[in-house]
Amino acid sequence: MTVTRSSITIKKGSVLATKFGFLGLFGLLLGMVVAIVGFNCSEPETFNFLNYTLSELGTYGHSTYAVVLNGGLFFGSLSVVFYCLSSLQNVTSFWEYPFFIFLAFTFLALACVGLFPVNVYHLHILGLKWFFYFGSLSAIFYLVFVVANRSAFRLLPVLLALMVLTSMMTFLYAPQLSLGLTDGDRPFYQEMVLQFPRPTLWWPALLEWLGLGSLLGWVGALLLSQLSFTRVPVTEKQPS
């Protein structure tokens, strides 16, 4: 007589990659929260997402906990890069390859933003520039992947991918519309530090946070949805 028992097997590589992804997001968010709380406790001004940039929080000599933020950006981003590269061995569609590759480049650029703060101006804005370019490309390839594989459609990740694409493309190309959003219509990534008094709504700051926030939310949604795919029902027979 045999007894059939259903169990759950988990691909160890996929689970490890997913754990690194969550660990990376935790490190990124922890660094930001500590830097913002520390800024509010040590500076006369109150931090505002509408007119303070991520770059200012990571500026040595200006932000008390800049080292915490930059460390979170660097190590957290590298952890997400590991998740992206590890996920390449489990892809089921051609379009997942460019998606994970560009997503890895996105967080590699974000790691450079933390490694080279605005004190190292030219390297910092270079990392920030490519962060938005690679982020836009990763969102585009993800949407192409979903269109090509309808079974992979999940509403929340798709909506967040659209938000990432919209906010990052706006950050990159809005200055080219000559709307006077920056001095001389310079690119937003060159306008990361502003002298006082500053406007209540500063578009480079708002769009930078929208792009980063939607990206982190999107990756979090992808990680949560991926957890269900790492569990495969298996039928195991045992003699009794």
How would you write the pLDDT of the chain (240 residues) with one tens digit per residue? Answer: 343 333 333 355 678 889 999 999 999 999 999 999 988 887 777 888 888 889 888 888 888 899 999 999 999 999 999 999 998 888 888 999 999 999 999 999 999 999 999 889 899 999 999 999 999 999 999 999 999 988 788 899 999 999 999 999 999 998 888 777 777 678 888 877 766 677 788 888 899 999 999 999 999 999 998 876 555 444 444 444
Residue 8 CB neighbour total at 10 angstroms? 9
- Half-sphere exposure at residue 45, Cβ-oriented, CA atoms within 13 angstroms: 15
Residues in the chain: 240
Q: What is the pTM of this model?
A: 0.87
* Amino acid letter, 154: R
pLDDT number for residue 11? 56
pLDDT number for residue 183? 72
Could you tell me the two tokens for 63? 């932000």
Long-range contacts of 32-41 (CB under 8 A, 24+ apart): 32/57, 32/69, 32/72, 34/65, 34/68, 34/69, 34/72, 35/63, 35/65, 35/66, 35/68, 35/69, 35/72, 37/65, 38/63, 38/64, 38/65, 38/68, 39/63, 39/64, 39/65
